[in-house]
Structure 1
Amino acid sequence: MSRMLNLGWLALGVVMLAGAQEKPADFATQVPLAISGNGPWYRLDLPLSVQLQARQTDLSDLRVFNAAGEAQAYALARESAQTRDGGKLHEVKWFPLYNAADASERAPNVRVQSTTSGTLVEVQPSSQLEAGEEVLRGWLLDASAIKAPLQQLILDWTSERDGFQRFSIEASDDLQHWQPWGEGQVARLTFSDERIEQHEVALPGQSARYLRLLWDSPNSAPTLTSVQLKSSDPRNVPLPLVWSQEVAGSSSKAGEYTWQLPVGLNVERVQVEIRQSNSLAPVTLAGRRESSLPWQTLNSGLLYRLTQNAQDVVQNELQLYGQTVQQLKLTVDERGGGLGEQAPNLKYAVRATQVIFLARGDGPYSLAVGNPRVKTANLPLATLIPDFKPEKLATLGKATVQSEAVVTQTSTATTAAVAGTNWKKIGLWAVLLLSVVFLGAMAFSLLRKPPANT
């Protein structure tokens, strides 16, 4: 009897092992990888074009193989807007930057007084300006007390300055050498008896002791009433956003546009094409995972493309919070003129995904996705890399997709591979069932056998 049970467990083990022995041919899409740097662990920034080939939203069908077709141990570094650290807000000091009205240089020369720790005490023009000659060109922000990467700038200003405010952002650690951090735009508008305000500006997620804001439009800066900086934990800097190619939309009635995404994705931002200048559109964005579900409102806001001083001022993005959606619908309040009869194109952004794998066996290595039947196989990072710490990610070797051209198996080959695997599983399950039936018959026979006479 014990021997029969052992045979049954052996048959079950064979079935489970066969299920784990996946091969590249079991997956619809394969891409070659190139590795560099120090192993044996390698980190891959997964291109969105490859991610979209997956057949499972959570990337359970992702695998890494070596040259012999052996699956590699791997982990996924992912995050969602719901689980991400919201950051820490800091109140900071700000100092006006004045310059002469007829000055040729945009950045004012200033005299700075600071403490031994670098905290600013006073900022004054380098030369005395008389009343009527000075113009407020911008503001100098003291971030020396923040020992973390800066993610967002939040401004408020006096109410008499409505409209758009555009300015450049520069960063420095010594007040002598400045690095550009892009442009910022805030706004305070009135539309249909509603007040619409935009106070937040995204920063690149780097550290700096000082920030300098210099106004482009209008030429003089407004009087600030509040300045805040949001920082993130340096041990948990958010992964970057990756943007899709343009997706064509459709429209079934005026002022309503829909888009279909390739798969369900945790979308965090969308960008709507605004073709015509001087377009202003209050909008509401809704989403859902499939057509049978009701629409859920995701966000609302004001999209515009306005010409000011011979330049277009554009706000064409809406922020989401990482909900999984496959369909999007934009409803436009056409009192602002709308976005035109033709549905605009749309781009969407998702948080980047990193694949970390332990290279075993000989290369070249390849990444495979596209199998709706396989189960998840990724490990926690702490299991894959002993004594793992977030800062260790930057020291790992690097893997890259050799070509954006995705290598996809023909449908016939993929179907045959899946069919072959299914027949093998069916045969092994048949062996297991026969073993169980045989064991049951033996047990029944033993129970019916009369006891031996003593």
Structure 2
Amino acid sequence: MRLACLLWVLLCGGAVAAEPREALEQGDFAWGIRLEPEVASPIYQLPLPQAVYQGVTRADLGDLQLFNGRGERLPHELQLPAKRLPGQESLQSIVLFPLYGTRAADLQRLSLRIRRESAAGVLTLEQQQMHRTQDDVLRGYLLQLWQGEQRPVIRRLTLHWPEPARGFMQRLKLEQSDDLISWRAVGGDQVIADLAYSGERLVKADIRLNGSLDRFIRLVPDKGEMAVELDAVEAVTVGDSQERPQQETPITTLRRDEQAGVYLFELPGRLPVTRVNLIPAESNTIVRATLYSRATAEAPWIRRSQATLYRILIDGTQLDQTALAVERVNDRFWKLAVDTSGGGLGESLPRVKVSWIPHLLRFSARGEGPFLLAYGSGSAVMDRPGSLLQGFSETQRRQWVSERIRVGQPFELAGTAALTPQRIYDWKQWSLWGVLILATLLLGWMAWMTLRQMQQRD
């Protein structure tokens, strides 16, 4: 009897073990959002709505899935964009000086003039007529990349030349200098080419650079003379980067802690926060504030930021410094501690807003729409999809990805019931375990009975 009871406990205890599932259907998720494309495109991209952060159960956003109109799962990926937008590219003409001389001559055949416009002076070049002898050849070019004191960020150079009578391919060396005396190599060698065959023309005229450079570049062939005379050179410069626009969410859960000068609040979801704005209720407030966060209500606090915040009025002008910058973190629980030695924040509660940058959701538009973004499931497992655009050029990525898609309002799928992990009853597996356990116990009982009989005979 005892043996049967033990076997029943083992079988039932194992049968209710929870196991996450990989192939989830729409009904396995709590909520959904309809996505309706405005134009046809193979891939769509959109910022992840705030409702998704509020509805998911996993900090890694592993419990969301895309479906097409037939209910089929779609490949997707999430990307956390940089805090700053890349600078815009622009074209800038480069001053060009040809370098002539014999194949064995020095490359320093040019004239200089110093024109002082400031205390530091500005160096400019002037080309003078060069009398070429019969033995002189085009040894290369000297490029003046910039004038003045502001050093631009140059991504690449584009060379322009007339269509040659015959094709060529040539390796070039690049050296840089600020004084035309000391020269340093710029990266590795570069190759230019202009080839024609069967009515087709292949031109490679771009020279990639590494950003900030000295004022002058010397461009010479690796061997021999220049294969072509240049008409012009243009530089692709990159402007200053700008802060990416962020979303702001006001906090309504702010409350005082029992400890003086300490305030607690909870985010409405797992938002990737980059900044917390603390706005004092009263003017002429200056406080030293420290910001903490933690992932769960039981975890220890981790300090995220510290700064002096103020909101003061001077001659009718309001001066504010209310931002606490943080490294991107998606903790839900936050604590704000202010120094109360100078009065703290006063009797009124401050206003708190968090700034955050949403993930970019990119998915393959396979099949018919409208598409469904489903999220919130206690049965989801971690999915690590590969990049949808890995191995494709930047031009292809821009052509294939569209952001013209309408995002609907969240609605209920399975509701909160989907947030609880489902219990899986694998009776076949545990029945086999039960048979093995029963056989082991039976063999043990038989061995014990045999030993007992042997002892009685003795």
Q: TM-score, normalised by structure 1?
A: 0.54
Q: Distance in 2 between matches of 1:358 and 1:79?
A: 19
Is 1:408 matched with 2:412? yes
Superposition deviation, residue 433 in structure 1:
5.0
Opposite residue 247 of structure 1, the aligned amino acid is: T
Residues 277-320 of structure 1: per-residue CA shift (max 9 Å, x gap): 21111111122222323222222111111113422111111111
Q: Distance in 1 between matches of 2:286 and 2:436?
A: 76
**Secondary structure in structure 2 of the residue aligned to 1:281:** strand
Contact 1:239–1:352 (8 Å) recurs in 2: no
Contact 2:310–2:322 (8 Å) recurs in 1: yes
Residues 225-268 of structure 1: per-residue CA shift (max 9 Å, x gap): xxxx9967xxxx99654332333310024321111123444432
Contact 1:37–1:398 (8 Å) recurs in 2: no
**Secondary structure in structure 1 of the residue aligned to 2:327:** coil
Is 1:243 matched with 2:248? yes
> Which of 342, 346, 356 matches 2:348?
342
Contact 2:43–2:402 (8 Å) recurs in 1: yes
Contact 2:28–2:379 (8 Å) recurs in 1: no
Q: Distance in 2 between matches of 1:291 and 1:230?
A: 44
Superposition deviation, residue 372 in structure 1:
2.3
Partner of 2:268: 262
**Secondary structure in structure 1 of the residue aligned to 2:281:** coil
> Which of 263, 266, 289 matches 1:283?
289
Mind listing any 5+ residue stretches in structure 2 that lack a counterpart?
1-19, 88-116, 126-143, 157-210, 212-237, 439-458
Residues 293-351 of structure 1: per-residue CA shift (max 9 Å, x gap): 32222221111111134221111111111244222111111344422223323222333
Opposite residue 388 of structure 1, the aligned amino acid is: F
Q: Distance in 2 between matches of 1:360 and 1:301?
A: 49
Superposition RMSD in Å? 4.1
Q: Distance in 1 between matches of 2:53 and 2:153?
A: 40
Residues 204-240 of structure 1: per-residue CA shift (max 9 Å, x gap): xxx9xxxxxxxxxxxxxxxxxxxxx9967xxxx9965
**Secondary structure in structure 2 of the residue aligned to 1:25:** helix
Flag the 1:66–1:115 CA change in 2: closer, same or farther, 3 A.
farther
Mind listing any 5+ residue stretches in structure 1 that lack a counterpart?
1-17, 88-109, 122-140, 149-206, 208-228, 442-454
Q: Distance in 2 between matches of 1:308 and 1:143?
A: 38
Partner of 1:9: none
**Secondary structure in structure 2 of the residue aligned to 1:379:** coil
Q: Distance in 2 between matches of 1:115 and 1:33?
A: 58
Residues 132-189 of structure 1: per-residue CA shift (max 9 Å, x gap): xxxxxxxxx83534559xxxxxxxxxxxxxxxxxxxxxxxxxxxxxxxxxxxxxxxxx
Superposition deviation, residue 363 in structure 1:
0.7
Flag the 1:281–1:380 CA change in 2: closer, same or farther, 3 A.
same
When the two structures are aligned, how many residues end up with a matched partner?
A: 288
Superposition deviation, residue 62 in structure 1:
1.0
Residues 5-52 of structure 1: per-residue CA shift (max 9 Å, x gap): xxxxxxxxxxxxx94442222111101112234521111211223322
Is 1:293 matched with 2:299? yes
Is 1:351 matched with 2:353? no
Partner of 1:142: 150
Flag the 1:275–1:337 CA change in 2: closer, same or farther, 3 A.
same
Q: Distance in 2 between matches of 1:354 and 1:41?
A: 13
Contact 1:57–1:263 (8 Å) recurs in 2: no
Partner of 1:332: 338
Residues 64-101 of structure 1: per-residue CA shift (max 9 Å, x gap): 111121111111112688xx99x9xxxxxxxxxxxxxx
Alignment of 1:55-454 (within 5 A): 55-78=57-80, 119-121=146-148, 142-145=150-153, 147=155, 241-252=246-257, 253-381=259-387, 384-389=388-393, 393-395=397-399, 396-398=401-403, 400-403=405-408, 405-409=409-413, 411=415, 415=417, 422=422, 425-426=424-425, 429-431=426-428, 433=430
Q: Distance in 2 between matches of 1:389 and 1:51?
A: 31
